Amino acid sequence: MTVVRVLGCGDAFSSGGRLFPSFHVESPSATFLLDCGPTALLAMKRMDLDPDSLDAVLISHFHGDHIAGIPFLEIELGIMRARKRPLIVGGPPGVAARIKHVTDALYPSLKPKQRIGMAFTEWVEGESVQLGEITVRATRVRHTPETEPHALRVEVAGCTIAYSGDTEWTDSLVPLADGADLFICEASTFAMTVENHLSYATLMSHRERLRCRRLLITHMSDDMLRMLPVEGAEAAEDGLVLDLSGA
| Per-residue pLDDT tens digits of the chain, which is 247 residues long | 999 999 999 999 999 999 999 999 999 999 999 999 999 999 999 999 999 999 999 999 999 999 999 999 999 999 999 999 999 999 999 999 999 999 999 999 899 889 999 999 999 998 999 999 999 999 999 999 999 999 999 999 999 999 999 999 999 999 999 999 999 999 999 999 999 999 999 999 999 999 999 999 999 999 999 999 999 999 999 999 999 986 5
Q: Which runs of consecutive H residues, i.e. helices, occur in the chain?
A: 40-46, 64-67, 70-75, 95-106, 173-177, 200-205, 222-225
Distance CA 240, CA 35 (A): 16
Amino acid at 183: F
Asked whether the whole model's pTM tops 0.95, one would answer yes
Task: Specify the pLDDT at position 138.
Answer: 98
Task: Specify the pLDDT at position 113.
Answer: 87
Ordered structural domains, the chain, with CATH? 3-243 (3.60.15.10)
Closest-CA residue to 90 (of 153, 42, 38): 153
Task: Specify the pLDDT at position 247.
Answer: 54
For the sheet containing 118-122, what is the strand order? 118-122, 87-91, 56-58, 31-34, 22-26, 3-8, 241-243
Distance CA 99, CA 120 (A): 10
